[in-house]
Structure 1
Amino acid sequence: MPYGKGLLPLRKSRLLSGVPDWWAGKPNPDGSEGDPSFDVFDFTTHYRPLDLVRWSRDRPRTGEPGEKWSYSNTNYTLLGLIIERLTGHDLATEPHTRQFGPLEA
């Protein structure tokens, strides 16, 4: 991402990264939130995480990293990609591997 410098995982988890939400549409000319960037009722299409991140790149930042709180699905998508890269497991598997699995023993 062109503004990736300074985007620490902790800032992403606290929603202070300034990364725009892939869910939100491009803003309307008056500054209000536009329509979602995809058909929210299409439950048959699978969107790859990198495609979702790519969509967010066309949206304005919500602020500088650490500047203000703003909910962003993109933050969690990026955290999932980081976890997958570091552990070799997807985000759905990792909590069971590290947290819940050991509790069963």
Structure 2
Amino acid sequence: MGEVTICRIVLSSQLPSYDVESLETALEMASIKIQKQPNRAIGVDDLVVIATVVSGGTATARLVEYGVKVARVINQWRRELREEGLHPNGRLEDSERPPLELSEATDEEIEEWLSRK
């Protein structure tokens, strides 16, 4: 079985590594597989995390549900960063639509963006 990409999460290299790792861990705990893109062509040190799920009838049919799970994880992570006084510098990307800036979007906009497939 292959994998279905939910989105690409491009995170600023200025974010502390433990904050990036906390997002990765939270996604994995929500049964979302992540891949770090080996070559970082987007920016000098930007980190690209690709959120995926194993493909198959169930995963494809539940892609919107997985998108909502990713949105909830990202929104919680953004709240935690803001409590630390940090900005969640990064964006969501998908070849099918314009990118969404994590530092500017509302929780609702992130959930809507990730639930459209």
TM-score (norm 2): 0.27
User: Which one has a larger percent strand, Structure 1 or Structure 2?
Assistant: 2
Structure of larger gyration radius: 1
